[in-house]
Amino acid sequence: EGKQKSAVYRVSYAYNSKYLFEASGRYDGNYYFAPGHRFGFFPSFAAGWRLSEESFIKNNFSWINNLKIRGSWGESGALAGSPFQYLSSFGLYGNSAVINGAGTQGLSESSQANPNITWERAKKTDVGLEGTLWNGGLTFEADYFYEKRADILLAPNVTVPAEYGIGLSQVNSGAMSNHGIELTLGTSHHFNKDLSVSLSGNITYARNKLLQVFETSATYDNPNRRQTGRPLGTLFGFQALGYFTAADFDASGNLKPGIATQPWGTVHPGDLQYKDVNGDGVIDNNDIVPIGKSYNPEIIYGISPSINYKGFDLSVLFQGAANRNFYENVFAFDNSSSATLDALNYWTPTNTNATYPRITTQPTANNTQGSSWWVRNGSYLRLKTANLGYTLPGVVMQHLHMQSVRFYVSGQNLLTWSSIKNFDPEVSSSTGQYYPQIKVVTVGLNVTF
Considering only the C-alpha atoms of the chain, give the largest distance between any 2 of them, rounded to a whole number of Å: 99
What is the DSSP track for 380-424? EEEEEEEEEEEE--HHHHHHHT-SEEEEEEEEEEEEEEES--SS-
For position 280, what pLDDT does the model report?
95
For position 432, what pLDDT does the model report?
64
Q: Residue 420: name the closest of 373, 376, 383, 354 by CA.
A: 376
Question: What is the identity of the amino acid at 313?
Answer: D
What SS3 class is residue 400?
Answer: helix
Whether 85 contacts 32, CB under 8 Å: yes
What is the DSSP track for 39-82? EEEEEEEEEEEEGGGSHHHHTT-TTEEEEEEEEEEEEEEE--SS
For position 163, what pLDDT does the model report?
79
Which ranges of the chain have pLDDT less than 50?
Answer: none
